[in-house]
């Protein structure tokens, strides 16, 4: 048997902040339902079909706890089902004016509805468990509400991580061995937090390893492994400046038929104005999918051969993306994934999960990781730069208020629902999404409002609890119409009092 050219790992990171009950349009639940209908449903269906064909270890799929909570929430399940029905109605409404597009959208929306009703009616967790149990995917966990961990106080950082891992175990039946570190953010010493929490591997961006991503690497003197995203391969698909989704044949994300809310055009050209873009053609896009899948496989093979020649041993390449790229941002993305995952084994490439690659022995020497992220500059500027100094200061205040209230708690040995709700709101206040959206000027007003909302609740509730005004605290919480229950019902604020040192 001919040995493989090398090993390829596909890693998908699925994440949205808490959006349920926090607005609808243009930012809010619409964002959740679009991503769910157009990415999560078709990507999981694609992986399930490939598993049924006999393919194993197809991908490493991360689903953050805050997203998983929404995928299981009955309120959100009803909301996305209604959204799917609206999608089909919008397709029908366009039939007289745009018959070809309407027919295509009808087929796609109907398939999404059938996928939801067959596999997702009882939540995302059953669908993900079933997929994992086929051996097709390894599931990654993460901290509870996706904070930028390097900027957190050590106690809060460990609390958030452990809460996220516990949430994963409750929903999916086992604690994850690996995590997608939010924003690939890292500070030296965090490997000990990971080791103490039972995390055995995590993702970093390639520049943190100076591009030496051919093997998983132990971090410092720990047994925790970091795995680097290979930008030479990943950026072939999507980079800050180019990638396959920008090809002329694919559906244009930014051009709308406003009466129906559908997207009628293909990219046509990067500088072509919307009114001059050509109509979308599924057949033309399908040919582009096959072309770009073959190009990607050739890129992977060339990369693995070069790595093997330079290292003298079988090597690894990791392509890592946001799941939302496939289907939501790039309409044809799930079809491209299916084509790539079928073509790679035929080209002599071993396709593995991260855990599978490590089990195969693709582990190198220890490395000292620097401060890093996968954001602009590969440092912390997106989440700690001057443009978000107010958000950073607000996060510091949130952590102070949270710890002060917990440390002053004198309610006895049992759980305190008010303290637990305080911790839940603090986790959402500390989401990395708010600073990212401000820095990138993407719905910055919404992001600042959300950060302020949760931080204000933490400050008020913390003050009431420290003053012993529990009846006033209960009355105040009852006025939070958007929060009928904590997103993380298992979170126990008492755990904060027990976290003092790593492990």
DSSP code at position 382: H
CA dihedral 99, 103, 104, 108 (to 10 degrees): 150
Burial (CB count within 10 angstroms: exposed 0-12, middle 13-18, buried 19+), residue 498: exposed
Catalytic residue, chosen from 322, 379, 460, 495, is: 322
Supply the pLDDT for residue 503. 41
- State the residue for tokens 């929306």: 109
Q: How far is CA 431 from CA 182, 252, 301, in A?
A: 9, 30, 38
Q: 418: helix, coil or strand?
A: helix
- Which sign does the torsion angle of CA 425, 427, 428, 429 carry? positive
Position 257 scores a pLDDT of 94
Residue 375 neighbours by CB distance under 10 Å: 22
Q: Is 336 helix (H, G, I), strand (E, B) or coil?
A: helix
Query: Which secondary structure element, helix H or strand E, spans residue 227, and what is its range?
Result: strand 225-229
- Going by C-alpha positions, the residue among 178, 481, 435 that lies closest to residue 320 is 178
Active site residue 232: no
| Cα gap 72→123, rounded to integer Å | 4
Let me know the angle formed at the C-alpha of 181 by 155 and 334, rounded to the nearest 5 degrees.
Answer: 150
- Give 14's Cβ-side CA count (13 Å radius): 30
- Give the pLDDT of the chain (503 residues) as one tens digit per residue: 567 899 999 999 999 999 999 999 989 999 999 999 999 999 999 999 999 999 999 999 999 999 999 999 999 999 999 999 999 999 999 999 999 999 999 999 999 999 999 999 999 999 999 999 999 999 999 999 999 999 999 999 999 999 999 999 999 999 999 999 999 999 999 999 999 999 999 999 999 999 999 999 999 999 999 999 999 999 999 887 789 999 999 999 999 999 999 999 999 998 999 999 999 999 999 999 999 999 999 999 999 999 999 999 999 999 999 999 999 999 999 999 999 999 999 999 999 999 999 999 999 999 999 999 999 999 999 999 999 999 999 999 999 999 999 998 777 778 999 999 999 999 999 999 999 999 999 999 999 999 999 999 999 999 999 999 999 999 999 988 776 678 888 999 999 987 754 44
- pTM of the predicted protein model: 0.96
Q: Which of 29, 72, 183, 335 is catalytic?
A: 183
pLDDT of residue 286: 98
Which residues have a Cβ under 8 Å from the Cβ of 43 and sit 6 or more positions away?
A: 12, 323, 326, 327, 334, 337
Q: Report the b/e string of 286-300 with b at 16+ CB within 10 A.
A: eebbeebbeebbebb
Q: Which residues pair with 351 in a beta bridge?
A: 8
Q: What is the layout of strands, in order, in the sheet containing 225-229?
A: 178-179, 201-205, 225-229, 217-218
- Helix pair angle (124-133, 41-52), 10° resolution: 30
Rounded to 10 deg, the angle between the 432-439 and 444-466 helix axes is 150
In degrees rounded to 5, what are phi and psi of residue 27?
-125, 135
Give catalytic status of residue 322 as yes or no: yes
Q: What is the largest CA-CA distance in the chain?
A: 73
Contact 488, 427 (CB under 8 A): yes
Check if the beta carbon of residue 172 is closer than 8 Å to that of residue 137.
no
Instruction: Judge if the upstream peptide bond of residue 274 is cis by omega within 30 degrees of 0.
Output: no
Ordered by where they begin, the domains of the chain are 37-139+176-182+200-359 (3.20.110.10), 381-498 (1.20.1430.10)
Backbone angles phi, psi at 247, to 5 degrees: -65, 150
How many residues in the chain?
Answer: 503
Rounded Cα distance, 228 and 316, in Å: 10
Model pLDDT, residue 1? 54
Distance from C-alpha of 246 to C-alpha of 23, rounded to nearest angstrom: 30
CA 141 from centroid of its chain's CA atoms: 10
């Amino acid at each position: 048997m001919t040995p493989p050219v090398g090993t390829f790992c596909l890693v998908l990171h699925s994440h949205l902040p808490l959006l349920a009950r926090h607005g609808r349009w243009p930012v809010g639940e619409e964002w959740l339902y679009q991503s769910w209908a157009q990415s999560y449903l078709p990507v999981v269906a694609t992986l399930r079909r490939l598993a049924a064909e006999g393919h194993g270890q197809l991908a490493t799929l991360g689903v953050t706890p805050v997203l998983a909570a929404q995928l299981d929430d009955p309120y959100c399940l009803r909301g996305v089902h209604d959204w799917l029905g609206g999608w089909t109605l919008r397709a029908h409404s366009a039939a007289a004016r745009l018959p070809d597009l309407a027919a295509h959208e009808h087929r796609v929306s109907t398939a999404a509805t059938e996928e939801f009703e067959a596999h997702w009616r009882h939540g995302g967790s059953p669908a993900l468990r079933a997929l994992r149990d086929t051996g097709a995917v390894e599931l990654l966990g993460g901290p509870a509400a996706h904070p930028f961990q390097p900027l957190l106080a050590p106690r809060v950082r460990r609390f958030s991580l452990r809460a996220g891992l516990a949430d994963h175990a409750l929903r999916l039946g086992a604690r994850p061995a690996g995590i997608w570190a939010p924003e690939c953010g890292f500070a030296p010493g965090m490997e000990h937090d990971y080791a103490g929490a039972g995390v055995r591997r995590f993702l970093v961006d390639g520049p943190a390893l100076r591009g030496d991503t051919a093997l998983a690497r132990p971090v410092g003197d720990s047994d925790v492994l970091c795995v680097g995203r290979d930008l030479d391969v990943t950026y072939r698909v999507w980079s800050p400046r180019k990638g396959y989704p920008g090809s002329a044949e694919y559906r244009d994300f930014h051009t709308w038929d406003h009466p129906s809310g559908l997207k009628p055009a293909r990219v046509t050209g990067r500088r072509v104005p919307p009114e001059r873009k050509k109509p979308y053609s599924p057949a033309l896009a399908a040919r582009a999918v096959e072309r770009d899948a073959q190009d990607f496989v050739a890129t992977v093979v060339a990369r693995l051969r070069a790595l093997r020649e330079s290292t003298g041993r079988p090597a690894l390449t990791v392509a890592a993306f946001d799941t939302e790229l496939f289907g939501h941002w790039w309409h044809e993305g799930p079809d491209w994934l299916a084509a790539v995952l079928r073509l790679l084994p035929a080209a002599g490439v071993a396709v593995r999960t991260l855990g599978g690659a490590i089990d195969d022995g693709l582990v190198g020497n220890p490395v000292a990781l620097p401060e890093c992220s996968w954001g602009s500059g590969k440092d912390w500027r997106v989440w700690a730069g001057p443009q978000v100094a107010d958000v950073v200061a607000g996060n510091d205040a949130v952590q102070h208020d949270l710890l002060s209230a917990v440390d002053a708690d004198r309610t006895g040995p049992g759980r305190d629902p008010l303290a637990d709700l305080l911790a839940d709101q603090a986790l959402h206040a500390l989401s990395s999404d708010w600073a990212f959206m401000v820095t990138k000027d993407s719905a910055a007003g919404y992001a600042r409002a959300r950060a302020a909302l949760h931080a204000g609740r933490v400050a008020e509730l913390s003050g009431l609890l420290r003053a012993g005004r529990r009846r006033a605290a209960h009355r105040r919480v009852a006025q939070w119409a958007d929060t009928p229950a904590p997103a993380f019902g298992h979170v126990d604020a008492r755990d904060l009092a027990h976290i003092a040192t790593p492990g």
